[in-house]
Amino acid sequence: MTTLTQQQCIPCHGGETAISQAEIDAFQPQIPDWCQYEVKGEQRIERLYQFKDFKTALAFTNAIGELAEAESHHPALLTEWGKVTVTWWTHTVGGLHMNDLIMAAKTEEIFKQFK
């Protein structure tokens, strides 16, 4: 089993396929606080992070934005007072790709710097 944080995202240009539920289940212990759900038939993973104020939530949002640009894989981010909801899925596969699991694990690493 490879460590998600040590992997890099691959560019998705279309033609890639979604990962299987068995693969998601195998990696889930590395991202235990993320929940998987479906929107219009597409799988996504999501986690809510909590912060002491809006400014810190915004700084975390920007740090995740920097990560997204560095890896060319981009989340949905909802920033509120004291909260950021991070959602990962892959538009080009219409569901979950390894990129999403990698990015969830890397999001966890960044959150450790905000604790």
Ligand X SMILES: C[C@H](O)[C@H](O)[C@H]1CNC2=NC(N)=NC(=O)C2=N1
Binding site for ligand X (CB under 6 A): 11-13, 72-74, 90-92
Residue 59 beta carbon to ligand X: minimum distance, rounded to whole angstroms: 22
In the complex with ligand X, which residue's Cβ is closer, 45 or 57?
45
User: Least distance in Å: CB of 27 to ligand X?
Assistant: 17
Q: Three-state SS for 67?
A: helix
Q: Could you tell me how far CA 81 lies from the centroid of its own chain? A: 20
Q: Rank residues 11 and 65 by Cβ distance to ligand X and give the closer one.
A: 11
* Cα separation values, 13 from 20, 81, 91, 93, 103, Å: 19, 35, 10, 9, 17
